Amino acid sequence: MDPSATEAAIETHDHPTAGDAPAALRVDHRAPDRLVLQRGIFTGPSARVSDELYVVVEGGAHRQRSTLRMDEGSTGHTNTYFGRFAASYWQRWTTVTEVRATMVLDVAATANIRLVASDIAGHRRIIDSARVEGSGPVTLSTALDQYVDGGALWLEFDAVGGALTVGELTWSADAPKRVRPVAIAICTFNRADDCAATVAALSSDPTVLAAIDAVYVIDQGTDVVENRPRYQHVAPIFGDKLRYIRQPNLGGAGGFTRGLYEVSAVTEHADVILMDDDILCEPETVLRLNAFANLTVEPTLVGAQMLFLLNPDYLNVGAEEVHLHRLRHGQRVPKALRNTSMVTKNQERRVDAGYNAWWTCLIPAEVVAKIGLPIPIFFQWDDVEYGIRAREHGFATVTLPNAAVWHADFYWKDYDDWARYFSTRNSLIVGSLHSDLDASRIARFVFRELAEHLVAMQYGLVHTILQGIEDFLEGPKVLHDGGVAALKAARTSRDDYPETIKHPAASPPVRSADIHVRRAGGEPSRTTLVLLKRVIAQWLGRTQPGLVGITREDAHWWHVSLFDHVVVTDASQSGVRVRTRDKARARRLLWRTVRVLRRLRRELPTVQAQYRAAMPDLSSRANWERLYGLTETRTNR
């Protein structure tokens, strides 16, 4: 969840919570003989999504969500993003040793059906096949015993002598003795329409709806979801399963933790799927995550992948890890796909994630029972910290291919934003909790980063990053209110820096006729030397005068720093920002940087020990009850 607009807290309302949770959430469920692992889906949840993410057909075809009708002579296959069965992941992480693909066919004349596999290199081989000359159910099966490092399964169809209709396609395996209850927790802040659409998506699929035992909507905003007509329309469909909770704005950390808090208060058997409010939800993903979690050998966090919302064919990253020594999360696991069209490429290799972001991620009940709740760091790095902590306690994370939601593209968000405060502060907190940070190395790394921002005339960004470091050095007390004061300070303090303000592209605070667009050349090979030259040139005033326009793709520090007055396109493509060289301000920020980083080198070991000592209290139920106002509410009652 990306907080915005207002940081005002709202009073916690008396909506149903743990005390009257749905009865189905409290007990394990009797499993069927075979558990459906995934279904055959032939078209997406929105017109903006390419059908070729689901099934590819050459010839005439008529698609419905769970039914595919192919004209005579047509061929089709499910060797697609959502159509494939991720055999390597199921073999590596679950108890499944054999899988069946079952479907109901309506065959006008003759049809050929093939069960096909790939290996880590993408080589195709036929595993099983059937020539079908009559309508009815068909089953093809195979052992899962040759896919450890990579490979997938899919189906191919030939409508030979007439039309062919494929329906009720499922991939199944022997079921466990019991199926756990599962709840979904959606965290939202002033994205009422988006959240209502996500809730509606969950209600749109009867099979998925039946598999969900509870849905918690945690609303932290002032534009409330429950007032939206779409939410009011679909709420009755959930019956007793839907729970709506309002609380103060405590960021994504506070919203998602509320879901974990409520469910774990009822039972230690229920898994929780955390889900962003502003996604385009593929309901089938819920079924796949839940099935996988019920069959893992050991309790495992199971995350969905992220496809880009504005470029729906593209995968963000196959699997992510964190580099704590450099304070970097969202790092691509080696050999994982990144920013790749999933219409033109498949994921053959199994890549193991370090953690999974909480756009959609299943947390097993055992994890909450053993490691407690997340820490109140408002947002950013909360999912990273929880994934690292879970792994330290023996719980791995799997990012499951062919299970995904669409989320806003990250590269459409400008790096120069108030959120950088939380990213900086929280990266230091998480690094301190889970590694022995090298203070000198971190200081050198941060100094280089800030120097680049200074020569790029991003003075507000430098201030925001320094503010995050300064608050980190204050120790755990900075987390006492869950981030409310920090949010306000991070947002309002940037008002002193004009280049942080976004202006309409058609009416910037300069004369458009004076703007001359300057394109960047190639990236320099000796960046440290170039940085030194830029610093000297700016210090001596030897930058190029005049008003220059720079596109987002060219807004590299080594290009922007050549000029003293630039208009830069915002990453959101919704406006522009104006940067002006200010030697006095740069000098003040430089000396502040030196002082803050000197303090970081000196105090980091002590502050790190303080955060580690405070960890049990920060993640405790009592601390979160205090932040939610539940302790006071119960006392007054």
DSSP category for residue 557: H
For residue 438, is pLDDT > 90? yes
Residues 6+ apart with CB under 8 A from 193: 228, 230
CA–CA separation, 286 and 209 (whole Å): 10
Beta-bridge mates of residue 271: 182
Q: What is the mean pLDDT of residues 87-101?
A: 98
pLDDT in tens, 562-604: 999 999 999 999 999 999 999 999 999 999 999 999 999 999 9
Q: Which residue has the tokens 């009592």?
A: 622
Which residues are catalytic, by number?
A: 383
CA–CA separation, 372 and 300 (whole Å): 15
Cβ–Cβ under 8 Å, residues 2 and 187: no
Q: What is the mean pLDDT of residues 422-436?
A: 98
Compute how many other C-beta atoms are within 10 angstroms of the C-beta atom of residue 620.
14
Q: How far apart are the first and last CA of the chain?
A: 32
For residue 504, is pLDDT > 80? yes
pLDDT in tens, 465-481: 999 999 999 999 999 99
Residue 268, pLDDT score: 85
Residue 384, pLDDT score: 98
CA–CA separation, 96 and 56 (whole Å): 28
State what percent of residues in the chain have pLDDT above 70.
96
More confident residue, 376 or 5: 376
pLDDT in tens, 20-63: 778 888 888 888 999 999 999 999 999 999 999 999 999 999 99
User: What secondary structure does DSSP assign to 55-107, as a single string?
Assistant: -EEES-EEE-SSEEEE-TT-EEE--STTTSB-HHHHHHHBS--EEEEEEEEEE
Please provide residue 169's backbone torsions phi and psi, each rounded to the nearest 5 degrees: -80, 125
Please indicate, yes or no, whether the overall pTM of this predicted structure exceeds 0.85. Answer: yes
What b-and-e string marks burial along 152-181, b requiring 16 or more CB atoms within 10 Å of the CB? bbbbbbbbbeebbbbeebbbbbebeeebbb
CA–CA separation, 313 and 341 (whole Å): 5
Q: What share of the chain is helix, strand, coil (3-state, %, to 5)?
A: 40, 25, 35
Residue 412, pLDDT score: 84
Q: Which residue has the tokens 């469909």?
A: 237
